[in-house]
């Protein structure tokens, strides 16, 4: 198939960016979206031009590195997958595809389609852990956990930290990301001990970093490649309330 790409190019964090048009030809339907980008980049390099910079690594939907905003959707038009799992069979021959970086203040652009998501790491550093050291812990089966709770905790822990939720939200809210981590620990006995401090510190950090408020549009849930549920946000709000009251 032949396609017209309209790609955001920006030389550096402070440079001005603009859309540049690139046609690509003879793309196989079975190629992945990033393989299509590779083909474009190979052509650019062969012509001595700089390739389009974009983040990617595992190319199987788990590392959370890839991050493109494609035709208005984070990770493109297909459901429940990351950009690297998107395949060209989802597009039509001759189609124009608009490719942009995540757009959110707390995620500044580094170059072209790459953004800086270290704000997410900072939120985790504020409390996304159980404060235990290596060694001296009880036998694993000494902490029985209801299967139902373990499964729900796993649903929340499946978050890959890609930032699609923030990119999808008109307020650039990080509530889905933060609540997924808070929920994972809220559902497990290991997380109960520090529950109050954790939710308070993580929420404060999130606000500090300039992420916006949640206004319940559910765009985050709709675009999450891992189907993280907004029920986590409700759970976090409860945790937060309990923390404030105690």
If the CB atoms of residues 21 and 147 are measured against another protein, the closer one turns out to be: 147
Alpha-carbon gap, residue 241 to 246, rounded angstroms:
9
CB of 216 to another protein, least distance (A): 27
24 is a site residue for another protein (CB under 8 A): no
81 is a site residue for another protein (CB under 8 A): yes
CB of 79 to another protein, least distance (A): 10
Residues 108-147 that bind another protein (CB under 8 A): 110-111, 114, 116-118, 120-121, 124-126, 128-135, 137-141, 143-147
If the CB atoms of residues 63 and 209 are measured against another protein, the closer one turns out to be: 63
CB of 126 to another protein, least distance (A): 7
| Alpha carbons within 13 A on the beta-carbon side of 8 | 24
DSSP alpha helix (H) spans, the chain: 33-46, 118-125, 147-157, 164-168, 175-186, 189-192, 195-208, 219-223, 231-245
Contacts of 185 (CB under 8 A, 6+ apart): 128, 130, 153, 191, 192, 194, 195, 198
Label the pairing between strands 3-9 and 96-100: parallel
Options 17-25, 166-174, 182-190, 212-220: segment touching another protein (CB under 8 A)? 182-190
If the CB atoms of residues 102 and 220 are measured against another protein, the closer one turns out to be: 102
Residues 27-66 that bind another protein (CB under 8 A): 28, 30-32, 34-35, 38-39, 42, 44-46, 48-51, 53, 55-65
Q: How many CB atoms lie within 10 A of CB 104?
A: 23
**Residue indicated by tokens 């001296």:** 136
235 is a site residue for another protein (CB under 8 A): no
Residues 89-108 that bind another protein (CB under 8 A): 89
Residues 183-222 that bind another protein (CB under 8 A): 184-185, 188, 190-191
Alpha-carbon gap, residue 144 to 147, rounded angstroms:
9
């Amino acid at each position: 198939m032949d396609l017209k790409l309209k790609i955001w190019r920006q030389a550096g964090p402070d440079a001005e960016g603009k859309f540049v048009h690139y046609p690509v030809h003879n793309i196989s339907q079975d190629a992945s979206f990033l393989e299509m980008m590779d083909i474009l980049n190979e052509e650019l390099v062969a012509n001595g031009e700089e390739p389009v910079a974009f983040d990617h690594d595992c190319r199987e939907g788990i590392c959370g590195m890839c991050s493109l905003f494609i035709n208005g959707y984070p990770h493109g038009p297909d459901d429940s997958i990351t950009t690297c799992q998107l395949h060209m069979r989802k597009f039509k021959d001759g189609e124009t595809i608009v490719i942009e970086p995540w757009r959110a203040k707390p995620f500044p652009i580094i170059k072209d389609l790459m953004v800086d998501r270290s704000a997410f790491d900072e939120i985790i550093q504020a409390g996304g852990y159980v404060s235990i050291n290596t060694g001296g812990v009880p036998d694993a089966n000494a902490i029985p956990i209801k299967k139902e709770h373990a499964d729900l905790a796993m649903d929340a822990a499946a978050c890959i930290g890609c930032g699609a939720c923030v990119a999808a939200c008109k307020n650039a809210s990080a509530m889905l990301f933060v609540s997924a981590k808070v929920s994972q620990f809220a559902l497990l006995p290991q997380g109960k001990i520090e529950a109050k401090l954790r939710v308070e510190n993580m929420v404060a950090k999130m606000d500090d970093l300039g992420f916006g408020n949640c206004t319940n549009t559910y765009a985050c849930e709709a675009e999450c490649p891992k189907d993280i549920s907004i029920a986590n946000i409700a759970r976090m709000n409860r945790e937060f309330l309990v923390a404030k009251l105690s």
